[in-house]
């Protein structure tokens, strides 16, 4: 949690620097090249750490890894926003971005199972192999992106990344609604991520080694249905499609609460329902904040794309950090022991399951209600782009 909070303060600096960057390579591509080595080395040092390294070692390399992740994430998202000015085309671009992201997640999560099938079980070996996978794939994919993707020139200067600019952007109605939705959905996702291993292993009697298979089922479904959300966003509007996904992701927690314990196949089938909404919740806020950047540029004459994506990623990180810090305190308060070999009472396990299922449901419903007030429709965005084209 401490490292995440430090990392959150890093995002606005990077976003402001990106917006002011002017090189022959473009505005965002140099940052993509800079972030790759940081995440490669950070992951390797963390995932191959020797026993007993201590908190200073872990915090230091976590800062390097999260710093690299922030730079890569911001540069990717801003580059994707730059690729097209069109309302619907941006949804498609972020859908493919999300598709590739989930493909990488599935490939990485399969590593422990593949090693076990090869006769090399154990978490330490699996983590080490994951790190080497990242170390090899990152320069290949980053190099491919740098070679193939070009940036469009955008008129408008940047006025930096000071706290005043950051707050002014956050006060815009369209930006504020996206950020509040992202915070609530980030808290909901952080709740399920933080508690997943305890919920399935201790609450539902699934072997800890099989929890990864349950998550892969979610991503497999998400890979299939994400294109549907692109089409739905075009028909309903991005904000209504995202609100619908938030409601669905909330109510899908109820069958998870009711499912019987000890059956891996049923757990995979039910948790796969979460994948129906995962892609929309991940991609649509990014497409929406790219549209907000256009509206802001028309109003102010300043290009703050990097800063806006820093705000979006930062608010998601706040949700994730708060969920980790708060939930472990709540687990202690309800007398739940998170050790996987612990003997918890029936009451503590019941409280764990209520926490896992109904906190995300409540947060998702509030997020959906908030998103319905988002003002930037497809028709309004088209008018904004037309006005920008004339002025530019």
Show me where the domains of the chain are located.
Answer: 2-149+163-334+343-391
Mean pLDDT of 93-117: 83
Q: What is the pLDDT of residue 223?
A: 83
Task: Report pLDDT digits (tens) over 135-192.
Answer: 999 999 999 999 988 887 665 555 555 567 777 888 899 999 999 999 999 999 889 8
pLDDT at residue 123 above 80? no
pLDDT at residue 72 above 80? yes
CB 152 within 8 A of CB 83: yes
CB under 8 A, 24+ apart: contacts of 59-63:
59/2, 59/3, 62/3, 63/3, 63/6, 63/7
Is the pTM higher than 0.85?
no
Could you tell me how many helices (H) and strands (E) the chain has, helices first?
Answer: 15, 0
Q: SS3 for 157?
A: strand
pLDDT at residue 282 above 90? no
Task: Report pLDDT digits (tens) over 327-349.
Answer: 888 888 888 887 777 788 888 89
Q: pLDDT confidence of 248, banded at 50, 70, 90? A: very high
Share of the chain above pLDDT 90, in %: 33
Mean pLDDT of 369-391: 91
Task: Report pLDDT digits (tens) over 286-317.
Answer: 899 989 999 998 988 888 888 888 888 888 88
- In CATH terms, the fold of domain 2-149+163-334+343-391 is Growth Hormone; Chain: A; (1.20.1250)
Q: What is the mean pLDDT of the chain?
A: 86
In 3-state terms the chain splits into helix, strand, coil percentages (rounded to 5) of 80, 0, 20
Considering only CA atoms, which of 61, 321, 333 is closest in space to residue 189? Answer: 321
Q: SS3 for 24?
A: coil
Q: What is the pLDDT of residue 353?
A: 92
CB 252 within 8 A of CB 360: no
Q: What is the pLDDT of residue 46?
A: 93
pLDDT at residue 237 above 70? yes
Q: What is the pLDDT of residue 161?
A: 54
CB 359 within 8 A of CB 191: yes
Q: pLDDT confidence of 44, banded at 50, 70, 90? A: very high
Q: What is the pLDDT of residue 155?
A: 55
Task: Report pLDDT digits (tens) over 258-275.
Answer: 988 888 889 889 889 988
pLDDT at residue 107 above 90? no
User: What DSSP line would sit under 379-392, residue for residue?
Assistant: HHHHHHHHHHHHH-
Task: Report pLDDT digits (tens) over 12-25.
Answer: 778 778 878 888 88
Q: What is the pLDDT of residue 314?
A: 82
Distance of CA 83 to the CA centre of its chain: 20
């Amino acid at each position: 949690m401490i490292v995440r909070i430090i990392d959150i303060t890093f995002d606005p600096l990077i976003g402001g620097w990106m917006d002011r960057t002017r090189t022959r390579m473009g505005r965002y591509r140099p940052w993509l090249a800079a972030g790759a080595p940081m995440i490669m080395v950070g992951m390797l040092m963390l995932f191959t750490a020797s026993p007993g390294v201590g908190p200073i070692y872990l915090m230091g390399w976590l800062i390097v890894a999260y710093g690299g992740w922030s730079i890569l994430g911001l540069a990717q998202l801003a580059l994707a926003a730059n690729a097209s000015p069109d309302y619907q085309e941006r949804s498609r671009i972020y859908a493919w971005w999300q598709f590739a992201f989930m493909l990488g997640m599935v490939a990485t999560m399969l590593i422990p199972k593949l090693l076990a099938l090869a006769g090399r079980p154990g978490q330490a070996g699996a983590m080490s192999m994951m790190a080497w996978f990242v170390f090899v794939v990152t320069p290949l994919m980053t190099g491919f992106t740098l070679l193939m993707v070009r940036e469009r020139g955008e008129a408008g200067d940047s006025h930096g990344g000071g706290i005043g600019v950051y707050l002014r952007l956050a006060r815009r109605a369209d930006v504020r609604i996206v950020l509040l939705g992202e915070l609530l959905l980030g808290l909901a996702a952080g709740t399920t991520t933080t508690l997943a291993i305890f919920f399935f292993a201790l609450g539902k009697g699934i072997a800890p080694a099989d929890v990864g298979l349950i998550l892969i089922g979610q991503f497999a479904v998400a890979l299939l249905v994400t294109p549907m959300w692109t089409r739905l966003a075009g028909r309903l509007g991005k904000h209504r499609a995202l609100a619908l996904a938030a409601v669905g992701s909330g109510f899908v927690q109820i069958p998870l609460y009711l499912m019987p314990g000890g059956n891996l196949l049923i757990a995979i089938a039910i948790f796969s329902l979460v994948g129906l909404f995962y892609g929309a919740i991940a991609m649509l806020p990014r497409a929406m904040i790219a549209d907000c950047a256009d509206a802001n540029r028309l109003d102010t004459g300043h290009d703050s794309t990097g800063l806006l994506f820093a705000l979006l990623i930062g608010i998601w990180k706040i949700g994730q950090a708060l969920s980790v810090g708060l939930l472990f305190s709540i687990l202690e308060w309800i007398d739940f022991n998170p050790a996987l070999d612990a003997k918890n009472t029936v009451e503590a396990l019941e409280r764990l399951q209520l926490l896992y299922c109904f906190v995300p449901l409540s947060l998702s419903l509030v997020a959906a209600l908030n998103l319905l007030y988002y003002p930037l429709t497809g028709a309004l965005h088209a008018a904004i782009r037309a006005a920008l084209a004339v002025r530019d």
